[in-house]
Amino acid sequence: MKKDQNKNLPIDATDRVASGGLLSRRLFLNSAVATTAALATTRAAYGQEIVGEGQEDWTLYPGSDALEYGERSRFEAERVKKFVPPITEANQAFYDLRTTNASSLTPHQHLMGTITPSGLHFSVTHHGVPDIDPDKHAVVIHGMVKNPLKFDINALENYPTITREYFLECSGNSGVLWGETARDVQLDRMHGLVSGSQWTGIKLSTLLDECGVSPDAKWIIAEGADSGSLSRSIPIDKALKDSMIAIAQNGERLMPQQGYPMRLFNPGFEGNTSIKWLRSLYVSDKPVMSRFETSRYTDRMPDGKALQFSLEIDVKSMITRPSNAMSLPKHGLYEVTGLAWSGRGKIAKVEVSVDGGKTWAEAALEGPVHSIMLTRFRIPWMWDGGSAILQSRATDEFGRVQPAREKLIAARGRRPSYHFHGIQSWGVDTEGKIKHVYA
């Protein structure tokens, strides 16, 4: 039997901002909503008993010592990344063979705020994670430059750094949504190839200035030191605008999975262009047409052509709670929250619908809103126990609106594999179970 868990909420008609129970985003700011049950004070007079009677052990006994590097509570051990493909007994041997091409997915259903902890940042590797000795690693900048230069991590650390919050997304994120049927995959398997971090590095333009770049330069070919020497061509205008060589993530040096000791970071571009374990930047007047910009990471269109250098991440959003990693135990008041991002700039607006897109209400954005960074949105929702379809729709500062899935497919077909950014739907049934649906 379901109960209304917030019977006494003072909600009037003006709080209802769209059908299906969506409430004004201002409602949670109202102190009347933040009802706190009065704590029952049932302490009896214990007489001769010790005063700690009834306390938990961790209150009664001294805890463990400090650690050189902190770790999470053992009760959080299951809040980790999943792998692509899922490892099963049947494919274990095969997986062992191809661990060099592994993806791990950020579990957004467990996360709050907008910064992804470094250890939960998604990672895609095509040739495994190299174990680089920073004393033997350096990046060279060469080609159409006056002075080819070499920088190791100690040299880079001497430069004035910039620190920015940026999201990073693999262009394959949400790719399952190109499919014809709505596959039953959880939030992290669907949208786990996007994360947000604070990145610290040296602006690439600073180093390029020291090298003296030819005015005829049009591209920079970046190569990594992994066992595939992964490479991509970066347009020179991007490199001079806001690319950086990142040396730290969330305040500490990069993790090996994120490119230790140095990686290229191209804000707002598809993830694989931000070459990890960076060791060469060749300034050129033409792209190199590497494997990863021809046979991979090109988007097939319905007319048989494929888009190449589809580099910028489009405006996009996802609802992380409620999502299909959980269910709604009883009807009543919930918060619909999620993340929105755009590779071009700031998120200007996120709208939420609980009736499959018939009506929309504007969600509150949790500030400060950073350019090219995850932005959290939230809106209260009074679930009446009926079936519902939850959707979110983001708009960026340039007025680009996240498209409906069917409109995206109408324009680009079903074959692109990459850059899915349409609206995604969570279907809620009368039992409170949540499923990925096409709506």
Partner 1 sequence: MYMRKTLIIAGLLMSTQMGVAQESRFGVPATQADIDKRFWSVFPDGEFLPEGEGNVAEGAELFEYNCNLCHNYPDENDPNKNAIGKLFGGHETMGTDNIDRTIGSYWPHPTTVFNYIRRAMPLIAPMSLTNSEYYSLTAYLLHENGIIGENDVINKDTLPKVQMPNRDGFVNAYPDIPEKYRTKQ
By CB under 8 A, is residue 309 in contact with partner 1?
A: yes
Of residues 310-339, those binding partner 1 (CB under 8 A): 310-312
Give the contacts of 8 (CB within 8 A, at least 6 positions apart): 35
Residue 171 CB, nearest approach to partner 1 (Å): 11
Residue closer to partner 1 by CB (options 49, 209) is: 209
Instruction: Check residue 284 for interaction with partner 1 (CB under 8 A).
Output: yes
Would you count residue 29 as binding partner 1 (CB under 8 A)? no
| b/e code 298-319 from CB counts within 10 Å (16+ = b) | bbbeeeeebeebbbbbbbbbbb
Stretch binding partner 1 (CB under 8 A), from 47-55, 221-229, 258-266, 369-377? 221-229
- Toward partner 1, which CB reaches closer, 9 or 211? 211
By the rule CB under 8 A, 304 interacts with partner 1 = yes
Contact between 278 and 245 under an 8 Å Cβ cutoff? The reply is yes
Residue 2 engages partner 1 in binding (rule: CB under 8 A): no
User: Which residue spans within 238-302 are E strands per DSSP?
Assistant: 244-249, 252-253, 263-265, 278-284, 299-300
Distances (CA, A) of 432 to 322, 326, 359, 382: 10, 9, 21, 13
Report DSSP state, residue 177: G
Task: Decide if residue 210 touches partner 1 (CB under 8 A).
Answer: yes
Q: Among residue numbers 60 through 89, which ones bind partner 1 (CB under 8 A)? A: 85
Site for partner 1 in 404-433 (CB under 8 A): 407-408, 410-412, 414-415
Decide whether 80 or 185 has the Cβ nearer to partner 1: 185
CA distance 188 to 54: 40
365: left (phi over 0), alpha (psi -120 to 50) or beta: beta
Residues in the interface with partner 1 (CB under 8 A) total 80
Span from 49-57, 225-233, 354-362, 384-392 in contact with partner 1 (CB under 8 A): 225-233
Asked if 421 and 314 count as a contact pair (C-beta separation under 8 A), the reply is yes
- Tell me how far CA of residue 90 lies from CA of 87, 96, 243, in angstroms: 8, 12, 42
Among 190, 211, 354, 379, binds partner 1 (CB under 8 A): 211
Our finding on whether 305 is near partner 1 (CB under 8 A) is: yes
- Per the CB < 8 A criterion, the answer to whether 333 and 355 are in contact is no
Minimum CB separation of residue 254 from partner 1 in Å reads 18
Instruction: Give residues 110-169 in contact with partner 1 (rule: CB under 8 A).
Output: 127, 138-151, 155-156, 158-159
| Stretch of 6-14, 257-265, 280-288, 329-337 contacting partner 1, by CB under 8 A | 280-288
Looking at beta carbons, which pairs linking 39-46 to residues 24 or more positions away fall under 8 Å? none
From CA 406, how far away is CA 387, in angstroms rounded? Answer: 22
Q: Find the shortest distance in angstroms from Cβ 185 to partner 1.
A: 17
Nearer to partner 1, 253 or 296 (CB): 296
Q: Quote the CA–CA distance of 362 and 392 in Å, as a whole number.
A: 10
- The distance of closest approach from Cβ of residue 119 to partner 1 in the complex, given in angstroms and rounded to an integer, is 27
Q: Which residue stretch of 60-68, 107-115, 219-227, 380-388 sits at the interface with partner 1 (rule: CB under 8 A)?
A: 219-227
Give the nearest distance from C-beta 100 to partner 1 in angstroms.
Answer: 6
